[in-house]
Structure 1
Amino acid sequence: MPQRQKSNDILSPELVKILKIFGLISIGLILILSFFNTKRANNTGDDLTFRISPSSRLYFLNVRAIRYDREIRSDAGMLLFRHGNRSVSPTEPLLNLVLILNSRKEEAYLYLEPESVDWPLELRASSDGESQEFLLENGNNTQFLAQVRQLEPWIAADADFEIKIDSSWVRIWKEPKELDALQATLGDYFRLINERE
C-alpha cells in the first residue's frame, strides 16, 4: 500500500513562505480597498445629474438660503431661490440665475431668467483682452446647465459681460455684488448636486 505524502513534502519551505506572503498581501489589499469604496455604480438607469442628497439640501435650506429671496411654486412643487444681491430693474436688461429645488424628485436645477429681453440671448464676455460670444436659448434643465457651464469660467474670472439688445451691446452684471451673487449661486448649486464641497 503506497504511503500518503505529507503536504510539507510536496511544497518546499520557500513555496510555503511565498504562498503565506501572497495570501496576507491579498487579504490586506482587500481590506484597505474596501475602506475607500464610496462610489457605487448606478445600475438604475436614472439620471443623477440633478440629484441632491438630503444632507446637502438641509445644509442649503438651513445655512445658505438666508441669502436668497424665496418663491414657493406650490403648483409645481418647487422652491425658487434668487440671490438677494442680484440686480432688479423693470427697465434695464438683466439676466439672473435662479436656483430651483424640486422636492418631489429630490433634484435641483439652474434657470437663466432674463428680464426686459427675449430669448434667444446673445452674450459677450471679455477678460484680459480675450472675448467670447455665447448664444443662449430657452431650453430644458440639461441645456441650461450646459450653458451655465460655458459661462462659469468667465464668471469666475470676473469678466465683463454684455448682452445684445437689437444691434447694440449693453453691459450687464456691472456691479461687483452682482458677480458675487452669480458666483455664490453657482457655488451653492454645485454643492447641492454634490459636484463641489
Structure 2
Amino acid sequence: MKNTLAIVQSLAAQSFPKPRPNEDDGFAAARGAFEARLFALARGHDVLTRENWEGASLEKIIDEAFAAYRNRPGCGDAFDIDGEDLRVTPAMALSLSMALHELCTNALKYGALKSPGGRVRVSWSTITSSGGDRLAMRWEESGGPPVAPPTRTGFGSRLIERGLARELDGTVTLSYEPSGVVCAIDVPLP
C-alpha cells in the first residue's frame, strides 16, 4: 500500500507541476491540499504498517494526525487529548486519520489553530449499549476567531460528515458554535 501511495504522489507531482511565478494561486492551493491529504493517508498507513495491519492504537492515530500541525508556529501545545487508549480496526484507523487531518486543516484556516492561544480538545470514551460497544469521540475548538456555519460544504466537511459516518456505520455531527467548531463522532467498535 505504501508503494501505491508513493506512485500516486509521483503521479500528482508529474501531473500537477509546481506553479511558476505569477501563476494561479488557486491551483497551488489545490495541489497543496491534495498532497497534504496524501500525506495524512500515508501517516495512517504508517501506523498500521507498524502494527502489521491488525489494527492500531487510537492514541497513535491521533498523535500521527496532529504531528504535522504540532510543528507549526503557535500550534505545538494547542492540543488537549483525553481518552483511554484502545485498539481500532484498520478501516477505523484510516477513516479517523483522514477526518482528523481535515479538522486540523479547517482549524488552521478558519478556527482555533488560526489564532495564538487557540485550543483543540479531543476526547473519547467507550460506551456500552445493548447493540455493543461504541466509540464516542469529540473534537472541540476554543480560543479562535468567532465561528459561523460555512456558506458551502467543502470536500473536508463532506468527508467528515458523510464519508466517516458511512465508512464506519455511525453518526458524525459538525456544529459551528460561535466559540468554535465541535465534531461529535459515534461509531460502533468491533
State whether TM-score is above 0.5. Answer: no
Could you say which structure has the greater relative contact order, defined with CA pairs below 8 angstroms and 6 or more residues apart? 1
TM-score scaled by structure 1?
A: 0.24
Please tell me whether Structure 1 or Structure 2 has the larger radius of gyration of its CA atoms: 1
TM-score scaled by structure 2?
A: 0.25
* Larger helix proportion of the pair: 2
